[in-house]
Amino acid sequence: MAASCPDREPVGSELTQEIQPVRGMNDVLPAEIGAWQAVEGAARELLTAYGYQEIRIPVVERTELFKRAIGEYTDVVEKEMYTFADQGGDSLTLRPEATAGVMRALISNGMLRGQRHKLWCAGPMFRHERPQKGRYRQFHQIDVEAVGLPGPDVDAELIALTARLWRRLGIERVRLEINSLGTPEARRVYREKLVEYFRAHHERLDADSRRRLEGNPLRILDSKNPEMRELIEAAPVLTDHLDPQSREHFQALCASLEAIGIPFRINPRLVRGLDYYSRTVFEWITDALGAQDAVCSGGRYDGLIDQLGGESTPGIGFAMGIERLVALLTQSGPVESVAGPDVYIVVSGAQATAAGVALAERLRTELPNRRFELNLGGGNFKAQFRRADRSAAALALILGDDELARGVASLKPLRRETGQSESPLSNLAVAIEAVLAGSAGHM
Ligand code: ATP
Ligand code: MG
């Protein structure tokens, strides 16, 4: 670069150090983009078909929002948030999840008032976790929220939507776990039983769990410490303490899932990492990605909007981790990105090269559904044909000075042996379509 750019000082590589990317924050390169687009495209299509509308919210929110929504004693708020003071001294946080922001948006824009909303959004989330395979500091979610619907019909439909998405993507190694957390009142009673139980076994609690015992004892059930497993297995089970309405809600959900034909397992210890859940919680997990096994998690949050100062409205939602879905999708091989061009335009000679850009632009206008790649940066015939071949184009259009002078171009199919032909420049669009139709028949 420096050599061909005489106005700039060459940059001495021994003087400047390469700037490193931020740990746990990745680039998604063109070679990997096919799988990302497959996941995002299938999700967008399906969500639209189910009547969900896209909403876009800021990546940064007031820190207070996440503290209030997610809960002070969660891992996310206690130790994973990217929080900073801006120039005006406000405490802001890079969003660690999307639900809080979407609910904030509904409240800020006066969109509640007894109305229903079926929404989705997608984008990067930020958590300061220990980076490892399937766990990053910037990761991406597709987030889906249904607000104003008490369920359990919407609970079942949302889960059915996710099951359909896995089928569309050809993802097989996932299974569904569900649980009910009941109402906050029922949970309060259960919580006391749980505290009593863990107090009686205080000496067996790890440091994290001791801390949680006071602030948020349910979270102890979510502990990933294997030494805690036995104690947790023997703890009282929330499902035994459900209030009658929550029990009914849960039974109706189970019946719907059975009627749809979605296999599930009731996991009474599924409590989820965020505090705002009530009643239905669910998680799709896989055995194909090692320790990072959750690909999609969600649940009902009937108290959240109220908790954020909005008019009390029930809601349910889930988020899926795009990196983990991409990892599942690419386990059986790379996913093709967008196809190559239909036509590669080879230009040779000074006049033809000069005329190339205008010709390509004209063809793009005349055949808007075809993809044209113009050879850029010159090169002899051999080099240009090598590029044409690598581009996977079906057809090369050849324009040399000689052809230009005669008002024609040559068309050479690249994926079959036969027939280079000539066409008048004025009739190129028709000729290209004819040859491409013939090529398609031969492929
Ligand atoms: P985990 O138990 O793996 O930490 P979580 O319960 O914290 O997940 P949620 O907050 O519910 O996850 O987020 C929903 C989904 O986002 C998860 O199921 C997972 O697929 C994905 N996810 C969460 N944290 C990360 C991360 N740090 N890196 C990549 N994906 C993530
Ligand atoms: Mg987590």
Using the predicted structure, report yes or no on whether residue 440 has a pLDDT greater than 70: no
Sequence-distant (≥ 6) Cβ neighbours of residue 69 within 8 angstroms: 99, 100, 103, 274, 276, 304, 307, 308
Tell me what the mean pLDDT of segment 186-204 comes to.
Answer: 88
Residue 399 in domain: yes
Count the neighbouring beta carbons within 10 Å of the beta carbon of residue 198: 22
Count the neighbouring beta carbons within 10 Å of the beta carbon of residue 65: 17
Tell me what the mean pLDDT of segment 331-348 comes to.
Answer: 87
Per-residue pLDDT, 337: 73
Residue 367 belongs to a domain with what CATH number?
A: 3.40.50.800
56, HSE (Cβ side, Cα atoms, 13 Å): 1
DSSP letter string over 136-205?
Answer: -SEEEEEEEEEES---SHHHHHHHHHHHHHHHHHT--SEEEEEEE---HHHHHHHHHHHHHHHHHTGGG-
Q: Can you tell me whether residue 11 is helix, strand or coil?
A: coil
Q: 273 and 250, same structural domain?
A: yes
Q: 368 and 425, same structural domain?
A: yes
More confident residue, 218 or 196: 196
Per-residue pLDDT, 123: 98
pLDDT band at 334 (very low <50, low <70, confident <90, very high): confident
Q: 360 and 318, same structural domain?
A: no
Q: Whose CA is nearest to atom 16 of ligand 1?
A: 321
Ligand 2 midpoint to CA 99 (Å): 15
Indicate which atom in ligand 1 lies nearest the CA of residue 295: 20
Ligand 2 midpoint to CA 273 (Å): 6
Residue 257 belongs to a domain with what CATH number?
A: 3.30.930.10
Residues in the chain: 443
Query: Average pLDDT of the chain?
Result: 91
Sequence-distant (≥ 6) Cβ neighbours of residue 35 within 8 angstroms: 326, 329, 330, 334, 335
Using the predicted structure, report yes or no on whether residue 55 has a pLDDT greater than 50: yes
Residue 345 backbone phi and psi in degrees, to 5: -95, 115
Domain residue limits at 71: 23-183+243-329
Indicate which atom in ligand 1 lies nearest the CA of residue 75: 7
Burial of 365 (C-beta count, 10 Å sphere; 0-12/13-18/19+)? exposed
- Apex 96 CA angle, 141 and 120, nearest 5: 40
Per-residue pLDDT, 16: 81
DSSP letter string over 369-435?
Answer: TS-EEE--S---HHHHHHHHHHTT-SEEEEEEHHHHHHTEEEEEESSSSS--EEEEGGGHHHHHHHH
* pLDDT-wise least confident of 84-93, 94-103, 270-279: 270-279
Total domains in the chain come to 2
pLDDT band at 9 (very low <50, low <70, confident <90, very high): low
How far apart, in whole angstroms, are the C-alpha atoms of residue 387 and residue 251?
61
Give the residue from 281, 299, 329 where a domain finishes: 329
How far apart, in whole angstroms, are the C-alpha atoms of residue 289 and residue 268?
23
Per-residue pLDDT, 74: 81
Instruction: Give the pLDDT confidence of 365-393 residue by residue, as tens digits.
Output: 999 999 999 999 999 999 999 999 999 99
pLDDT band at 212 (very low <50, low <70, confident <90, very high): confident
Residue 337 in domain: no
Per-residue pLDDT, 184: 82
How far apart, in whole angstroms, are the C-alpha atoms of residue 16 and residue 10?
11
Burial of 350 (C-beta count, 10 Å sphere; 0-12/13-18/19+)? exposed
Residue 147 in domain: yes
How far apart, in whole angstroms, are the C-alpha atoms of residue 404 and residue 347?
10
Instruction: Give the pLDDT confidence of 291-324 residue by residue, as tens digits.
Output: 889 999 999 999 999 999 999 999 999 999 999 9
Q: 116 and 29, same structural domain?
A: yes
Residue 127 in domain: yes
Per-residue pLDDT, 274: 57
How far apart, in whole angstroms, are the C-alpha atoms of residue 300 and residue 193?
23
- Residue carrying structure tokens 């809080």: 100
Tell me what the mean pLDDT of segment 393-406 comes to.
Answer: 96
Sequence-distant (≥ 6) Cβ neighbours of residue 167 within 8 angstroms: none
Using the predicted structure, report yes or no on whether residue 11 has a pLDDT greater than 60: no
Q: 255 and 173, same structural domain?
A: yes
**Nearest C-alpha neighbor of 154 from the set 265, 298, 266:** 298
Q: Whose CA is nearest to atom 2 of ligand 1?
A: 294
pLDDT over 90 for what percent of the chain?
Answer: 72
Q: Can you tell me whether residue 9 is helix, strand or coil?
A: coil
Using the predicted structure, report yes or no on whether residue 442 has a pLDDT greater than 60: no
Using the predicted structure, report yes or no on whether residue 7 has a pLDDT greater than 60: no
Tell me what the mean pLDDT of segment 45-73 comes to.
Answer: 95
Instruction: Give the pLDDT confidence of 113-141 residue by residue, as tens digits.
Output: 889 999 999 999 999 999 999 999 999 99
How far apart, in whole angstroms, are the C-alpha atoms of residue 314 and residue 115?
11
Per-residue pLDDT, 3: 43
Residue 312 in domain: yes
Q: Whose CA is nearest to atom 29 of ligand 1?
A: 135
* Pocket residue to mutate for ligand 1, from 99, 139, 175, 295, most atoms within 8 A of Cβ: 139
Ligand 1, pocket residues at CB < 6 Å: 97, 127, 129, 135-136, 139, 141, 273, 292, 294-297, 319-321, 323-324
The residue ranges of DSSP E strands in 86-137, in sequence order, are 91-94, 117-126
Instruction: Give the pLDDT confidence of 35-52 residue by residue, as tens digits.
Output: 999 999 999 999 999 999
Q: Can you tell me whether residue 334 is helix, strand or coil?
A: coil
CB 289 within 8 A of CB 201: no
Ligand 2 midpoint to CA 292 (Å): 9
Q: How does strand 280-286 pair with strand 294-300?
A: antiparallel
Ligand lying nearest the CA atom of residue 327? 1
Give the residue from 273, 298, 329 where a domain finishes: 329
